[in-house]
Structure 1
């Protein structure tokens, strides 16, 4: 055996040993790594190359053997593929393409005669570049060592070929070359194993950390699908005590996937699915004893390894979603219940085919069978109210044209029993054609009949309260606060009002948008007043007089949020005036009672004077005494008239409606005015009325004309003219009903300051006055108006500012021909009946007795009511007439009459008093025979007594 054969044999043995090492690494250590498979193939081809050399007895690179060259080139190719493990992925395909091109170049040069040494030089140059690039790219320490041995091997390989070419081959040099080749492969294998195990250790540490920290179940299966690693969460999920109990379980038996998911996994795709894991039915994996209840799992299986068709393992994520599923089911049940209770019905409409599906519950809610509206969508349109159809079409067209994102419309649909039910339809197009036309629409329809009824109630309620709001007598205003730069309220802005407020404040244009200071320009204190009221932060009430409005306002403030207030404003001017009137009336009533009492006592004195005069006139009415007796009688009559007016003022006496002469009353009024007013005022009388007689109370008419004259005096501070004129007028005051009356018209004119239209409109209102405080009560003209009206007349006023005022009074006249004359009889009417007189005043009692006795009557007198009752009880049949005073101590006139009436229901009684009859009980008034007003003359007394006795 020559040296060449020994070298080839040594190389074959070394390659065979490496082949066994690569096979072992491929099977046991690297888990069938493709890179070791490449090296196994490389060794096989290299052994083939060496075997050809050994059999042929040729050199290492035979000159004539193309087979050896192909075997060597293929061996190097797979060696490079094995080294790709160290090269970045983006360069691997490029390196392989370049290597194939170089080998093709080498084979080509074999046949065109290039120097074989040059061929190998190029080949080794390429290989050195390849090694350098591998070293540069990886930048790993073990790769530097591996690359260095490859570099040395390449150099020795190059030297060996030089020696072979020269024919002088050193065996030791070749063996050294082979050893570098073996060492380079050994270093490559060791580097690979170190890298794999380092990466594996890092990956395992990361995997263990991730597995332990994960909140979901994690499992790792090998290429055969057997479980090799799991985490505590997964064990807890399946209630397994130790992982050894389930290691080795096959993934495809544990997770019984659907056929489609199984096909996806086996075709190299990751898959996710949900499954119901029933441990009672699981017999293959022996997990049926671990749990009692089935669970819902969410499983994700990921393929491991670069070749997804031949996976190196499976990574499984498992999550227990049982509670989530149960919650979802409960939520779906609640949602279904909510949808059912909310009267929601789903619908699905295909526009092209016009096919409509709608929940059968919808038709049932309208009283029809469940499938009534399913099918042709035109069916339901025949049930929609005709007034709503155009609205529905418009809403659909808007959604068709993509003007709206969703379709929503309200309409009425006819119920089976004939009435309409309100529904709301809502939905959207979920499929459209290229031009935007809807293909399919889905949505819901809901009954809103109750909502519409509530809306109608709300609308009616709003209308009702809006009507109340607008028609309420109280003013309403909502205002917003306006702050200054310091945050203090400086004004209020009017936001909302009602019509009553505009009437109260006198604005007939909108005041919304105006501030309080703009409305009440001169009364800025209102802002501070409202601010103080608002500070209390609750309902607050205040009354305030507004000079601008001339009214007393009651203001109730309600806070409305942080920056607004609501004011309820009421004009209480009339109320306060009425209250003043009541107070004034009470005051006048008290004065009247006082005056009435005084008048009564005064009447008693006048009665005594008048009675004495009557007696004197009958006994000594001669000579010079007649003149003075007439003076006394006239003064007595005047005093009696004064007392009568006082009683009228105090309402103790009724109007005495008798024929009166208006002209005579005017003369008496002018006489009074001339003595009481300024001499700068010229009074003129122009009485042209031919009919001047009227039926009325002389004192009341006199007071009326006097009051007007005094007002005229007050209007002419600097003097002027006051004119009294009269004329007759015939008018139809009952609007052409043929009731013409004749009136005497009294016009009282002055040249004073006149009145404005506002004052003229209120001139006859009680307590309205233009005079300063303390100079007028505002009752005068109001009483004038009442007196004239009670006489069947009318009063009006005409005035021009700075020109003067005319008061026109119209009183119905009476014909003097139809007047009933007072009955006058010559002398006194006498009699002889027995009369009982009761009066607590001794003088009056004695005078009445003497006058009656002068008339021939029998008189018995009593000062006390009880004495009179005692006497009457025993002698009532002898008494023809009883005269009794109305006001007496101990027993009043009314009580005495009741006692007399109890004794004798046929008693004839006449009251004597200075008071009127209005304060006497109606039952007594209807039973008495008459009333004689004090003071009384003997002539009147004789007529009354005779009249009462003869009734």
Structure 2
């Protein structure tokens, strides 16, 4: 029994004793009044006693109702706290794995870009490598979103052609669906673009399609994906959005549908109608959160036996901004001696090979103490230090500061797998070049050219400056 329940029982017992004593006293008093013949006084006192009893009972009922409301509020607060603790745990986990995961992605993207340099244009090999690179970049963006969630910040957004992202999601989903589920799509964005990260739109479409497929995994059915440009006016605006142009993504299924009583809860974090262990209950919550961050909304229409339709509205415009990963063509070559330091051996091997293929001489080490020893042996022999920001024993900033005591003008590039928020711990006047892993070969070469200057720059593939 909880505390409020115990107090309620005690209060009722006390009230019963008070009323019993009052009735006993009233009985004696009535007998006395009858003996004296004072019937008027009897009626007056009886009225007072009755009114007092009613007031006591009403007061107890009100107190009990308030106690029940307080108990319900306490349980609601505890539920919100548990949910917040779960979300905080997700954020902490994201921050903890980001460094190692970004290092692994750096290795994947690096070797893939090297292989692309040697793949024939139009070949199947080149197409496959481009798919690998695209997937690695999506994984990079996912890690950045997780870090942004953990730290309460947001990533960089671009004017995105959402139609290409939806087509890619449909292609990937169709390959993984069982034969009993049909997936059809219609994509017509009308030339509109949404200001978003590619991964955000990718997540919205993937979660909605996955949710539809899971609803029909037992009996099969049909999923319809429709993207089109719409204009919302000031009149008849059922979705409560500002008037303007929007991209509307609709994902419908022919599954069992959703109970009307559950429709208001489907976007709650961790809410799921699936069996324990069969789902996290986070997919639709993520869709709702992304749509809201982008200035849009998501609605659901469903009934038992009639399937479900989820509709996402995202603000759109015809403004075009660059969204690519960089210019095409061969990566510029260079020359110079580089000291590269990172505690991930696979990453050191990959970056050393890339830079050597581009014409640089590289000393790659996994220990800051070894890097310090090599530099002290030949302080004037290095043109650039590239170091990881966080390493066991000695980080990149400490290592660079130590090396600059021997050679103050040494150019330095710092790298981090902890996201752009790590820049807050770096003195950007002293170390202006900070790269966030994973990064592409072209980005690394561009920043190297800025750090070293003419010594690193631009020779074409033949070696001519």
| TM-score, normalised with respect to structure 1 | 0.36
Unaligned residue ranges in structure 2 (runs of 5+)? 1-6, 17-56, 455-465
Instruction: Describe the superposition over 1:88-120 as per-residue Cα deviations: whole angstroms up to 9, x where unpaired.
Output: xxxxxxxxxxxxxxxxxxxxxxxxxxxxxxxxx
Tell me the CA shift for residue 684 of structure 1: 2.7
The answer to which structure has the higher helix fraction is: 2
Structure 2 CA distance for partners of 1:862 and 1:684, relative to 1, 3 Å = closer
The within-5 A match list for 1:853-892 is 853-857=356-360, 859-869=362-372, 880-892=383-395
Unaligned residue ranges in structure 1 (runs of 5+)? 1-475, 484-492, 503-554, 557-566
Q: What is the rounded CA distance, in whole Å, between the counterparts of 2:70 and 2:444 in structure 1?
A: 66
The answer to which structure has the higher strand fraction is: 1
Structure 2 CA distance for partners of 1:677 and 1:496, relative to 1, 3 Å = farther
Which one of the candidate residues 105, 108, 127 is aligned to 1:606?
A: 108
Q: Does structure 1 residue 580 correspond to structure 2 residue 82? A: yes
Q: What is the rounded CA distance, in whole Å, between the counterparts of 1:855 and 1:924 in structure 2?
A: 30
Structure 2 CA distance for partners of 1:901 and 1:729, relative to 1, 3 Å = farther
Q: What is the rounded CA distance, in whole Å, between the counterparts of 1:686 and 1:631 in structure 2?
A: 24
Which one of the candidate residues 646, 660, 663 is aligned to 2:163?
A: 663
Structure 2 CA distance for partners of 1:869 and 1:724, relative to 1, 3 Å = same
User: Is the 8 Å Cα contact of residues 908 and 948 (structure 1) preserved in structure 2?
Assistant: yes
Q: What is the rounded CA distance, in whole Å, between the counterparts of 1:665 and 1:639 in structure 2?
A: 12
SS for the counterpart of 2:421 is: coil
Q: What is the rounded CA distance, in whole Å, between the counterparts of 2:370 and 2:364 in structure 1?
A: 10
User: Is the 8 Å Cα contact of residues 158 and 322 (structure 2) preserved in structure 1?
Assistant: no
Q: What is the rounded CA distance, in whole Å, between the counterparts of 1:899 and 1:846 in structure 2?
A: 24
Which one of the candidate residues 676, 680, 684 is aligned to 2:184?
A: 684
Instruction: Describe the superposition over 1:582-613 as per-residue Cα deviations: whole angstroms up to 9, x where unpaired.
Output: 44335535653675365245335425633653
SS for the counterpart of 1:888 is: coil
Structure 2 CA distance for partners of 1:783 and 1:632, relative to 1, 3 Å = closer
Q: What is the rounded CA distance, in whole Å, between the counterparts of 1:730 and 1:757 in structure 2?
A: 29
Q: What is the rounded CA distance, in whole Å, between the counterparts of 2:350 and 2:277 in structure 1?
A: 46
2:399 corresponds in structure 1 to 896
Instruction: Look at both structures and tell me which one has the larger radius of gyration over its CA atoms.
Output: 1
SS for the counterpart of 1:651 is: helix
Structure 2 CA distance for partners of 1:693 and 1:890, relative to 1, 3 Å = same
Q: What is the rounded CA distance, in whole Å, between the counterparts of 2:336 and 2:233 in structure 1?
A: 54
Tell me the CA shift for residue 778 of structure 1: 3.0
Structure 2 CA distance for partners of 1:633 and 1:652, relative to 1, 3 Å = farther
Q: What is the rounded CA distance, in whole Å, between the counterparts of 1:750 and 1:850 in structure 2?
A: 49
> RMSD value over aligned CA atoms?
4.5
User: Is the 8 Å Cα contact of residues 606 and 935 (structure 1) preserved in structure 2?
Assistant: no
User: Is the 8 Å Cα contact of residues 744 and 812 (structure 1) preserved in structure 2?
Assistant: yes
The within-5 A match list for 1:199-348 is none
Q: What is the rounded CA distance, in whole Å, between the counterparts of 2:172 and 2:331 in structure 1?
A: 37
Which one of the candidate residues 419, 432, 440 is aligned to 1:929?
A: 432
2:253 corresponds in structure 1 to 750
User: Is the 8 Å Cα contact of residues 103 and 437 (structure 2) preserved in structure 1?
Assistant: no
User: Is the 8 Å Cα contact of residues 658 and 696 (structure 1) preserved in structure 2?
Assistant: yes
1:725 corresponds in structure 2 to 226
Q: What is the rounded CA distance, in whole Å, between the counterparts of 1:645 and 1:950 in structure 2?
A: 30
User: Is the 8 Å Cα contact of residues 477 and 497 (structure 1) preserved in structure 2?
Assistant: no
Q: What is the rounded CA distance, in whole Å, between the counterparts of 1:711 and 1:501 in structure 2?
A: 41
User: Is the 8 Å Cα contact of residues 715 and 753 (structure 1) preserved in structure 2?
Assistant: yes
SS for the counterpart of 1:761 is: helix
Q: What is the rounded CA distance, in whole Å, between the counterparts of 1:639 and 1:820 in structure 2?
A: 16
Tell me the CA shift for residue 744 of structure 1: 0.8
User: Is the 8 Å Cα contact of residues 841 and 863 (structure 1) preserved in structure 2?
Assistant: yes
- The runs of 4+ residues in structure 1 deviating greater than 6 Å are 476-479, 873-878, 901-906
1:644 corresponds in structure 2 to 140
SS for the counterpart of 2:339 is: strand
Tell me the CA shift for residue 772 of structure 1: 3.8
Q: Does structure 1 residue 695 correspond to structure 2 residue 195? A: yes
Q: Does structure 1 residue 766 correspond to structure 2 residue 264? A: no
SS for the counterpart of 2:227 is: strand
Q: Does structure 1 residue 845 correspond to structure 2 residue 341? A: no
Tell me the CA shift for residue 795 of structure 1: 1.9
User: Is the 8 Å Cα contact of residues 148 and 155 (structure 2) preserved in structure 1?
Assistant: no
The within-5 A match list for 1:51-70 is none
Structure 2 CA distance for partners of 1:863 and 1:594, relative to 1, 3 Å = closer
Tell me the CA shift for residue 494 of structure 1: 8.1
Q: What is the rounded CA distance, in whole Å, between the counterparts of 1:903 and 1:501 in structure 2?
A: 77
How many residue pairs end up in the alignment? 397
Structure 2 CA distance for partners of 1:496 and 1:724, relative to 1, 3 Å = farther
Instruction: Describe the superposition over 1:129-160 as per-residue Cα deviations: whole angstroms up to 9, x where unpaired.
Output: xxxxxxxxxxxxxxxxxxxxxxxxxxxxxxxx
Tell me the CA shift for residue 683 of structure 1: 2.7
Tell me the CA shift for residue 819 of structure 1: 4.3
User: Is the 8 Å Cα contact of residues 477 and 494 (structure 1) preserved in structure 2?
Assistant: no
The within-5 A match list for 1:99-110 is none
2:312 corresponds in structure 1 to 809
SS for the counterpart of 1:569 is: helix
**801-810 or 626-635, which deviates more:** 626-635
Structure 2 CA distance for partners of 1:628 and 1:774, relative to 1, 3 Å = closer
Tell me the CA shift for residue 756 of structure 1: 4.7
Which one of the candidate residues 771, 777, 782 is aligned to 2:285?
A: 782
User: Is the 8 Å Cα contact of residues 159 and 319 (structure 2) preserved in structure 1?
Assistant: no
Tell me the CA shift for residue 885 of structure 1: 2.4
Q: What is the rounded CA distance, in whole Å, between the counterparts of 1:499 and 1:715 in structure 2?
A: 46
Q: What is the rounded CA distance, in whole Å, between the counterparts of 1:576 and 1:725 in structure 2?
A: 40
User: Is the 8 Å Cα contact of residues 720 and 752 (structure 1) preserved in structure 2?
Assistant: yes
